Amino acid sequence: MATRLFHISDVHFGVEDPGAIAAVERAVEEERPDVILCTGDLTQRATKLQYAEAAAWFEGLKVPVLFDPGNHDMPYYNLLERFTDPYRRYRGLVEAAGGAFESEDVVFVPLKTTVRAQPRFPWSDGFVTDKALALTIALLRELDGDPRTIIVTAHHPLLGPKDDENPTIGGDKAFSAIAATGAHAIVTGHVHVPFDEVRERGGHSLRMLGTGTLSTRLRNGAPPSYRVITCEQGGRIETELRTLTPADS
- In whole angstroms, give the CA distance from residue 247 to residue 3: 31
- In whole angstroms, give the CA distance from residue 154 to residue 113: 6
In 105-240, which residue ranges form alpha helices assigned H by DSSP? 130-142, 171-180
The domains of the chain are located at 3-243
Tell me: pLDDT of 249 over 80: no
What would the pLDDT profile of 124-170 be if each residue is shown by its tens digit?
A: 999 999 999 999 999 999 999 999 999 999 999 999 988 778 999 99
- In whole angstroms, give the CA distance from residue 54 to residue 8: 13
Angle, alpha carbons 5-9-153 (nearest 5°): 65
What would the pLDDT profile of 58-101 be if each residue is shown by its tens digit?
A: 999 999 999 999 999 999 889 899 999 999 999 999 999 998 89
What's the full length of the chain, in residues? 249
- In whole angstroms, give the CA distance from residue 66 to residue 103: 13
CATH class of 3-243: alpha beta
Angle, alpha carbons 122-70-48 (nearest 5°): 100
Q: Alpha carbon 7 to chain centroid distance?
A: 8
Instruction: Please tell me the pTM assigned to this model.
Output: 0.96
Q: How far apart are the first and last CA of the chain?
A: 39
